[in-house]
Chains A and B, each alone.
Chain A
Amino acid sequence: GEDVEQSLFLSVREGDSSVINCTYTDSSSTYLYWYKQEPGAGLQLLTYIFSNMDMKQDQRLTVLLNKKDKHLSLRIADTQTGDSAIYFCAEGENRDDKIIFGKGTRLHILP
């Protein structure tokens, strides 16, 4: 069945780069997402990538996709204290369709 796996915790020093990794099993995934969850707020879409792309960059965020290995990563450059949150990897097949989420990676920023 569909499954999305990611590590539960990552600790990074302020100013360093954070890399959050994710693997998925559904080969028919069309969209791969990264969502951010902060306390008291709804999940916020950070970025997404189509399955036919290898990389997408958006300011401090870089998403890399290895479709062969079904591996997705999110790199946050120059990590700031405001980046402290839970980051969810997710995949979906179609627009307006259900999304399968990983368990989320809690990013902790060290001073």
Chain B
Amino acid sequence: GAVVSQHPSWVICKSGTSVKIECRSLDFQATTMFWYRQFPKQSLMLMATSNEGSKATYEQGVEKDKFLINHASLTLSTLTVTSAHPEDSSFYICSFSPGGSVEQYFGPGTRLTVT
């Protein structure tokens, strides 16, 4: 099946710093991608949807100035958590959706710990 990678897989940072998470599709191109966050024993909460070449659409309650999404190409998207706080500690997961596909392909996730 399609492969999506995320880097880093785990990152620890200090409060107030910014962290960038990369998401790449390795063997397909996709115009639409999604960023989720997942708390322990909780569902995946959609943060934003982005189409390549367009600004991301953020879900209600997600600060777009704090969670910067750059959908740089059909195979690469980045999520930057700016001025990180301990409450931003979570598991961040990306997914790509090839055009016209029912299925989304998910990355393995990035665990962010803010101290």
Contacts and interface: CB of A to CB of B under 8 A. Distances in A.
Interface size class of B (residues with CB under 8 A): 20 to 34
B100 A96 contact: yes
Interface residues of A, number: 21
Given A4-B43, A96-B97, A96-B99, A40 B108 contact: yes
A41 B32 contact: no
A58 B34 CA distance: 27
A42 B107 contact: yes
Interface stretch (A13-21, A60-68, A73-81, A97-105): A97-105
A57 B46 CA distance: 29
Nearest to B39: A103
Interface in A24-80: 31, 35, 40-45, 48
B43 A42 contact: no
Nearest to B9: A40
A8 B43 contact: no
B109 A88 contact: no
B75 to A, nearest CB: 15
Contacts of A102: 43
A45 to B, nearest CB: 5
Contacts, number: 52
Interface in B94-113: 95, 97, 99-109
B44 interface: yes
Interface in B20-62: 31-32, 34, 36, 41-44, 46, 49
A103 B108 contact: no
A48 B1 contact: no
B4 interface: yes
B97 to A, nearest CB: 5
A4 B107 CA distance: 22
Given A41-B108, A44-B1, A102-B43, A95 B102 contact: yes
A96 B43 contact: no
A106 B49 CA distance: 27
Interface of B: 1, 4, 31-32, 34, 36, 41-44, 46, 49, 93, 95, 97, 99-109
